[in-house]
Amino acid sequence: MELYNLFPTAIGFAGFNRALTDEELFFIQTLETRKNIGNTTSVDNFVLRNAALTELRAFIEDAVADYFHSTVNPKHNVNLRMTQSWCNYSEPGQHHHKHAHPNSFVSGVFYVQTNPDDRIYFYRDEWQQIKLPPETWNAYNSESWWFHVKAGQLILFPSSLPHMVQEVKGELVRISLSFNTFPVGTVGEEMELTGLRLEA
């Protein structure tokens, strides 16, 4: 039997080429926070606009552009613009609830501080009318899949893909920086009555 991966979901991984500076860490670690479901999040919803994170933002924007053009390969002049960005803080025993990101095209998570067994889980976003337990799990029959995460790692994914982060079992506060993006430029085709110009 020959199998083809049809309509695959791309999860992008990129590594920041250096450790965060003391200034960058101080900025992220001292942001004002508010309660979230299972953890806390920064009150500032535009953290990547801060001058302290200029180099990190440039790295993320380059990675998003590479992911977008490698997966979507748009015909017209369209790019993704970063909209909001925020930090999440999960103390030992806390978690990040299952969710997706509305009003966004590609979302991402940059890990600032992690424990050795920290993971991110992704979920198949479809209802299964008939469930047949498999002998072994694989990319075709799984309802969820997880990846180990580590500090300095960026993970990109379609914003509609449900995901969550398990309870922190290590001693460190897991710190991540999340963000959303939205297309700007020419979307669709005017002759097909789907044309739309989205300005930055």
156/14 Cα distance (integer angstroms): 8
Comparing 5 with 62, the larger pLDDT belongs to 62
Start-to-end CA distance of the chain, whole Å, equals 48
DSSP assigned state of 195: -
25-44 b/e (C-beta count within 10 Å ≥ 16 → b): eebbeebebeebebbbbbeb
Region 72-89: what's the mean pLDDT?
95
* pLDDT at site 7: 87
178/86 Cα distance (integer angstroms): 5
106: nearest Cα among 136, 69, 64: 64
Lowest mean pLDDT among 2-6, 33-37, 107-111, 119-123: 2-6
pLDDT digits (tens, 9 = 90+) for 124-177: 877 778 888 899 998 888 999 999 999 999 999 999 999 999 999 999 999 999
For 125, the 3-state DSSP assignment is: coil
What topology is assigned to 12-126+135-185 in CATH? Answer: Jelly Rolls (2.60.120)
State CA 17 to chain mean position distance: 19
DSSP assigned state of 46: B
* pLDDT at site 3: 85
